[in-house]
Chains A and B, each alone.
Chain A
Amino acid sequence: MAARRVGVSSWYRVLSLSRRCGRCSSTNTALGKTVENSEGAQEEIVLPRRKTWDKLAVLQTLASTVKRDPTAAHYMFHDDPYLMPKNSATARLFSLSKESGRNAAKYIIKEFPHFFDKILAEPNIPSLMPEICTPQIEGVSEEALRERINLRMVKASVDLFDQLLQAGTSISLETTNSLLDLLCFYGDGESTQEKESEEKEDLEESEVNASEQETPKRPPQRGSHPFASRWRENNNAERIFKIMPERNAHSYCTMIRGMVKHGASAKAYDMYTELLNDRHKADVHTFNALITAVPFLKDRFLERWELIKMFLNHMAQQEVQPNVQTFNAVLKTLRRCGGVGRSMAVPVIKEMEALEIEPSLATYDHLLSIFYRSADLASSGIISEVLDDVEKRSFTPQDPDDAKFFISAMQVCCDLKDIKLAYRLNKAVEKGDNWKFLDMDRLNSYWSRFFSLLCMMEQIDVVLKWYKEMSPSLFYPSPKNILDFLQALDAANHLEMIPSVWEDMKQLGFSKRRDLLEEVLSLMSRDQHPEEIQLAFAKCAEDIKTVHEQSGRDQASVEWTGSALGSVTVLFSRAGRTQDAWSMMERFQQINRIPTDLVMDEFLNCAKQTNSPDEAIKLVKLAASLGLPSSQKLKSRVEKEFKLSENQKKALESIQSDSDSSDSDSDSDRD
């Protein structure tokens, strides 16, 4: 390091020397100046303007030199074979457990802040210091109330408010309004609530999808609502609102937004009429909330649209500027308006463009679901226009529904079976900041759908290339993906890859899934293959056999089915493993199934190849004991094709008599 520093300073010395020499020398043709000019005129030294670099510029440049590692899991996991997730369920589990560990640590820091508040770093790092969560100001006063509101302590602030009222002090309008804000935001519950909202939202989505297929009349107000807490009758917010001596527009607006958020849409509408009666003006967020509440107020599609138009007209009358969330709310409601929605969606977009509001990803998401939700995908071409817009820019999050866009777009591409659109969508994801909309869960389902589409539509070498690159680093294949992949291999006649797919299946933990096992076995045993492939298949079949027979400690073993057993027998026979094949045949009786003719023919072929007539006779005995009609054919085949010794011939004869009626049996006995 020291040597380098000396070197740098000496380099500067060389530069300055050369500059001086440049001025003095007469043959400085590089500068393109003549001798007189360089000596006469002052050399203009043009200092370049100072570049300001982003704080992260160095890191970003370094990151751009490194390509994605196709063998590594997501960077949030520890790089260790035991701690690396193998399929999507474990990926989710590990990331959630790490996050819950962090939350446990944060809880401890909150509970015992006195252990963590020593300042060790210079300058102090505020994010690593414990937060002050207990109110400092004691006593009954307005400042104390405001502090508790800031600390989001719902119950404490309501109690303090009541105490203040009883004491007779008048509380300012702003403080009351901020108290109302707090209550309406948390809906009368406490601020630390369980995050059930996401799951409930998904539930609601699927219910909505189902209901949209039905007639316009929806069943009356469902109990489920995205938020865990519901608006109770005469709760604290309403009570405080009623006893307020004076109210302004803000109070009404807060109440309306709180009621809509917690499911009391009818009350919100009544509150809105009160607001109009008092000649106040609502703000844009209130209107957005009211528009989202429209589906709960009216049932018929046309009525809903009329109500939306009414709200929009009121907005225009009160001179409130709509923003992007207004239009997103309109489109979200139009999603639940069926045919009316489809006809009105495009004019809404045109309005948005006329007002020069940039659409967010949520807008496009709503558009796609309006036009592509029903089963008959009318070729509306909306998706390509949407992709045109999305490809051009890098989006910032403006609406909570933005994150759903890429997944629904990929779903639409899958439904339309258009691979080119999917490639365009991939490019759009890579542009700018758009990748931030896909977190680990969504990334998995996005790439899973993309892979299904690939298997359906593309050539096998492209599919294989993507498979090698993407799994298991970018996404973990789901069982459906594996099935699609197997079908693609089948269509392209690449069945020799099945043993490696089986290895992947074992790694992903799908080795006990019966549908996948059946598929793999039937594909392997369907046709005759060249020698090495057959041997590989037989090894794979043996593996599957051990899976079936593993009486695991905590899992029940997989039951054999007739077709699976038959396939395994056929595979063993084709590879010339007679003993294994015979042990498989014996299991047929255990599970009360009958082997098919194909199985028995293959077994005989195998026995012939390996020259084991005993096995052949055993087979005929088995067939006879099961009473199969093909036992005669088998017997004659054995007689013809095998070289039998005397004992064996006699044994074969005796089998025949077994299959006849019992009279001949007794005859032979008497003999």
Chain B
Amino acid sequence: MAAAMAVRALRALPHIRIPALPASCSLHTTPPRLKTRAARVRVGKGDKAVTYEKAHPPHYIAHRKGWLSLHTGNLDGERCAAQRAVEDSFVRRFLHGTFPGCLADEAVLKRRSNSLLVCLLLLRRLPPSKLCFLLGYAETLLSHLYKCPVRIEAQTVPDAAVYKYL
């Protein structure tokens, strides 16, 4: 009673908008958009070239896909998985910037005992001497940054392998 009187009193004032207190709950008539969007390339007109890696959504990992980053941090009793993840993301951004437009696919990072192996797939956009320069630069800088031997194994392809067009 008092609440209803208060609501009516407030309604008299023209400036304040109050939500109408519903008497009953209404049903959701449109479903909420619950689609997962992680690591999926959405189907488009058919002109988007997509590699095997990008074409498969993440539930295919260990079925049709492998891992892009291999380390023992996620095994039972092992520590520092989060640090490895941070290092990986930094290395990928670094490579993306150092080899502008030359990366054909995501780099695969493998950690073997002390060392970090970066397996790169490069396009033949730059002349080979410039690629050698960038590879030497990246190896030295990354080893000094992470205090471990970093080896880059690069392979060049004429153009990126297209799996399908979406």
| A115 in contact with B147 (CB, 8 Å) | no
Q: CB of B72 within 8 A of chain A?
A: no
The one of A80, A104, A120 that contacts B133, using a Cβ cutoff of 8 Å = A104
User: Given the interface contacts A80-B154, A83-B154, A83-B156, does A98 sit within 8 Å of B144 by beta carbon?
Assistant: no
Q: How far is the CB of B147 from chain A (nearest CB, A)?
A: 4
Q: CB of A492 within 8 A of chain B?
A: no
Q: CB of A63 within 8 A of chain B?
A: no
**Which residues from 132 to 150 on chain B have a C-beta closer than 8 Å to any C-beta of chain A?**
132-141, 143-148
Chain A: interface size category: 20 to 34
| A98 in contact with B141 (CB, 8 Å) | no
The one of A82, A90, A97, A108 that contacts B124, using a Cβ cutoff of 8 Å = A82
**Which residues from 115 to 133 on chain A have a C-beta closer than 8 Å to any C-beta of chain B?**
115-116, 119-121, 124-125, 128-130
| A109 in contact with B144 (CB, 8 Å) | yes
Q: CB of A309 within 8 A of chain B?
A: no
Q: CB of A93 within 8 A of chain B?
A: yes
| A97 in contact with B130 (CB, 8 Å) | yes
The one of B137, B138, B147 that contacts A128, using a Cβ cutoff of 8 Å = B147
| A101 in contact with B140 (CB, 8 Å) | yes
| B140 in contact with A105 (CB, 8 Å) | yes
B158: nearest residue on chain A (CB-CB)? A82
The one of A83, A101, A120 that contacts B128, using a Cβ cutoff of 8 Å = A83
| B135 in contact with A121 (CB, 8 Å) | no
User: Given the interface contacts A102-B136, A104-B137, A105-B136, does A80 sit within 8 Å of B146 by beta carbon?
Assistant: no
| B137 in contact with A105 (CB, 8 Å) | yes
Q: How far is the CB of A101 from chain B (nearest CB, A)?
A: 3
Q: How far is the CB of B162 from chain A (nearest CB, A)?
A: 20
| A78 in contact with B154 (CB, 8 Å) | yes
**Which residues from 113 to 130 on chain B have a C-beta closer than 8 Å to any C-beta of chain A?**
124, 128-130
| A97 in contact with B129 (CB, 8 Å) | yes
| A121 in contact with B140 (CB, 8 Å) | no
Q: Considering the chains assembled together, what is the distance between the CA atoms of A196 and B5 in angstroms?
A: 96
A-chain residues with CB within 8 Å of residue B147 when the two chains form the complex: 119-121, 124-125, 128-129
Q: CB of A111 within 8 A of chain B?
A: no
A-chain residues with CB within 8 Å of residue B155 when the two chains form the complex: 80
B156: nearest residue on chain A (CB-CB)? A82
User: Given the interface contacts A106-B140, A128-B147, A130-B144, does A101 sit within 8 Å of B156 by beta carbon?
Assistant: no
Q: Considering the chains assembled together, what is the distance between the CA atoms of A493 and B148 in angstroms?
A: 57
| A101 in contact with B148 (CB, 8 Å) | no
A-chain residues with CB within 8 Å of residue B139 when the two chains form the complex: 102, 105
| A80 in contact with B156 (CB, 8 Å) | yes
The one of A101, A106, A121, A129 that contacts B132, using a Cβ cutoff of 8 Å = A101
Interface string of B5-16 (1 = CB under 8 A from A): 000000000000
Q: CB of B131 within 8 A of chain A?
A: yes
Q: Considering the chains assembled together, what is the distance between the CA atoms of A130 and B129 in angstroms?
A: 27
| A83 in contact with B131 (CB, 8 Å) | yes
Q: Considering the chains assembled together, what is the distance between the CA atoms of A81 and B139 in angstroms?
A: 20
| A121 in contact with B148 (CB, 8 Å) | yes
| A98 in contact with B133 (CB, 8 Å) | yes
Q: CB of A273 within 8 A of chain B?
A: no
B-chain residues with CB within 8 Å of residue A116 when the two chains form the complex: 144-145
Q: Considering the chains assembled together, what is the distance between the CA atoms of A94 and B136 in angstroms?
A: 10
Q: CB of A221 within 8 A of chain B?
A: no
B-chain residues with CB within 8 Å of residue A100 when the two chains form the complex: 133, 136
User: Given the interface contacts A101-B133, A101-B135, A128-B147, does A108 sit within 8 Å of B128 by beta carbon?
Assistant: no
Q: Considering the chains assembled together, what is the distance between the CA atoms of A173 and B97 in angstroms?
A: 54
Q: Considering the chains assembled together, what is the distance between the CA atoms of A105 and B140 in angstroms?
A: 6
The one of B140, B148, B154 that contacts A102, using a Cβ cutoff of 8 Å = B140
Q: Considering the chains assembled together, what is the distance between the CA atoms of A524 and B130 in angstroms?
A: 40
B-chain residues with CB within 8 Å of residue A101 when the two chains form the complex: 132-138, 140
Q: How far is the CB of B19 from chain A (nearest CB, A)?
A: 53
User: Given the interface contacts A108-B141, A120-B146, does A83 sit within 8 Å of B132 by beta carbon?
Assistant: yes
| B143 in contact with A128 (CB, 8 Å) | yes
Q: Name which of B128, B135, B145, B146 has the most chain A CB atoms within 10 A of its CB.
A: B128
Q: Considering the chains assembled together, what is the distance between the CA atoms of A83 and B157 in angstroms?
A: 11
Q: Considering the chains assembled together, what is the distance between the CA atoms of A129 and B148 in angstroms?
A: 11
B-chain residues with CB within 8 Å of residue A99 when the two chains form the complex: 136
The one of A94, A105, A119 that contacts B129, using a Cβ cutoff of 8 Å = A94
**Which residues from 15 to 31 on chain B have a C-beta closer than 8 Å to any C-beta of chain A?**
none
Q: Considering the chains assembled together, what is the distance between the CA atoms of A83 and B102 in angstroms?
A: 14
Q: Considering the chains assembled together, what is the distance between the CA atoms of A93 and B153 in angstroms?
A: 20
Q: Considering the chains assembled together, what is the distance between the CA atoms of A97 and B139 in angstroms?
A: 13
Q: How far is the CB of B150 from chain A (nearest CB, A)?
A: 10
| A78 in contact with B141 (CB, 8 Å) | no
| B133 in contact with A128 (CB, 8 Å) | no
Q: How far is the CB of B73 from chain A (nearest CB, A)?
A: 15
| B144 in contact with A105 (CB, 8 Å) | yes
Q: How far is the CB of A331 from chain B (nearest CB, A)?
A: 39
| A82 in contact with B140 (CB, 8 Å) | no
Interface string of A67-85 (1 = CB under 8 A from B): 0000000000110111100
Q: Considering the chains assembled together, what is the distance between the CA atoms of A116 and B143 in angstroms?
A: 10
The one of B133, B138, B154, B156 that contacts A97, using a Cβ cutoff of 8 Å = B133
18 more contacts with CB within 8 A, not counting A98-B132, A109-B140, A116-B145, are A78-B153, A80-B154, A82-B124, A82-B131, A83-B131, A94-B129, A98-B136, A101-B132, A101-B133, A101-B136, A101-B137, A105-B140, A105-B141, A108-B141, A120-B146, A128-B147, A128-B148, A129-B147
Q: List 19 A-B contacts (CB under 8 A).
A: A78-B132, A81-B156, A82-B124, A83-B156, A94-B128, A97-B136, A98-B132, A98-B135, A99-B136, A101-B133, A101-B140, A102-B139, A105-B140, A109-B140, A119-B147, A121-B147, A121-B148, A129-B144, A129-B147
Q: Which residues of A contact B (CB under 8 A)?
A: 77-78, 80-83, 90, 93-94, 97-102, 104-106, 108-109, 115-116, 119-121, 124-125, 128-130
Q: What 3 A-B pairs come out closest when comparing CB atoms? A: A101-B136, A105-B140, A101-B137
Q: Which residues of B contact A (CB under 8 A)?
A: 124, 128-141, 143-148, 153-156
